[in-house]
Amino acid sequence: MTRYPVGMMALHTDTPDLCVTQEDLAEQFAIAMTDNPRRQQAMKRIFNRTGVRQRHMSASPMWLATERTTQERNDVYMEQAVPLGERTIRDGLRAYGLSAEQANEFYAVSCTGLSIPGLDLHLAGRLGMRHDLRRTCILGMGCYGSFPALRRAHDAVKARPDERALMLSVELCSLHVQHNETTENVVSTGLFADGAGMVMLGETAAPGLPYIVDFEVYSNYQTLDKMSFELSDTGFIMYLSGYVPDILAAHATEFVDTFLGKHNLTRADVAHWGIHPGSTKIVDYIQQELGLADEQVAPSHAVLAENGNMSSATILFVLERICRDRTPQPGEYAMLMAFGPGLTVEAMLVRW
């Protein structure tokens, strides 16, 4: 069996402690947005169609009651993202018998907050990481942001097999809930949530974790306006066009088959599929287009239901669930895909 040179030595996810049901959040959001009962019911119906049952939040739902400035949102982001990131890394490394001092490279991914010095420096200091640590921040890439970080971490370890690379994604999307009644804002609020995930890469894979085979990316430069996350005086404004599932599905088959063809594989050779649950509709459309069975997309639906869309961290939750619930066997492949502004599709092929 082919042995790939870079494996996952650790994989772990975490969320803020506060868990809010979709029903409760919909109720509080609708009341905060309008006193029109008919409009409130319409908002609740949108929440109910997202496929989300609950999500974790870094700020209380009372946050919704008042419009917040960008500075207020970013201050809370730094207050919450640093300890959440630290806990995610510490617990993940401890579970696999590793330490932060072993990392030579560190990649910090986020699109929901910004500070200079950034998460990389704050966390490196708190974790006691080495002083010659090579650091990279990957910002503003949205839901597929973990893949560019993993690709660079993979390349670093492949070039220096005796070293290890750590990546962390932290996203606190709920801090950017906007105080308006637009359908786009209701949809975004009904979907987006908070979470973090980490991966340590090295020349071996831990039991139950895969080796990385390859990466692929496709960007459609004619659809830049279909998905966005734009800075305003009241934080980031999220926009997700209703056409996104159709656009992604239209390109999915060619993208996947071309990628797999580079490795003399077909869709039938892939046992496990991790589709970024940007929404339940996106997962359903991709499933239909690729001819996947319900059980193959079950991890994506489960993550969406239990955690919502946590932007770049979400795909790590999906991979962790595949590893835990589907118990992949040696030699089996998994295709992981995420989507974001561009519209861009990023994918990673792994093998156990």
- Name the DSSP class of 271: E
CATH number of 211-351: 3.40.47.10
- In 3D space, the residue among 201, 68, 172, 156 whose CA is nearest the CA of residue 114 turns out to be 172
Number of neighbouring beta carbons within 10 Å of residue 19: 13
- The better pLDDT of the pair 136, 278 is held by 136
The Cα 53–Cα 302 span in angstroms is: 10
Quick one: pLDDT at residue 240?
65
- Residues 113 and 74: beta-carbon distance below 8 Å: yes
Q: For 155-179, how does the pLDDT look when each residue is reduced to its tens digit (9 = 90+)?
A: 999 999 999 999 999 999 999 988 8
The Cα 21–Cα 331 span in angstroms is: 39
Q: For 69-116, how does the pLDDT look when each residue is reduced to its tens digit (9 = 90+)?
A: 999 999 999 999 999 999 999 999 999 999 999 999 999 999 999 999
The Cα 254–Cα 37 span in angstroms is: 46
Show the tokens assigned to 149.
């970080």
User: Whose structure tokens read 């560019």?
Assistant: 148
- The better pLDDT of the pair 153, 229 is held by 153
Q: For 261-275, how does the pLDDT look when each residue is reduced to its tens digit (9 = 90+)?
A: 999 999 999 999 999
Tell me the domain boundaries of the chain.
Answer: 7-202, 211-351
First to last CA, the chain: 10
The Cα 88–Cα 34 span in angstroms is: 37
Beta-bridge mates of residue 348: 215, 336
CATH number of 7-202: 3.40.47.10
Quick one: pLDDT at residue 96?
98
- Residues 235 and 73: beta-carbon distance below 8 Å: yes
204, amino acid identity: T
Q: For 194-238, how does the pLDDT look when each residue is reduced to its tens digit (9 = 90+)?
A: 999 999 999 999 999 999 999 999 988 876 666 677 778 887 877
- In 3D space, the residue among 75, 78, 32, 25 whose CA is nearest the CA of residue 48 turns out to be 25
Same fold, 7-202 and 211-351: yes
* Rounded (to 5) percent helix, strand, coil in the chain: 45, 25, 30
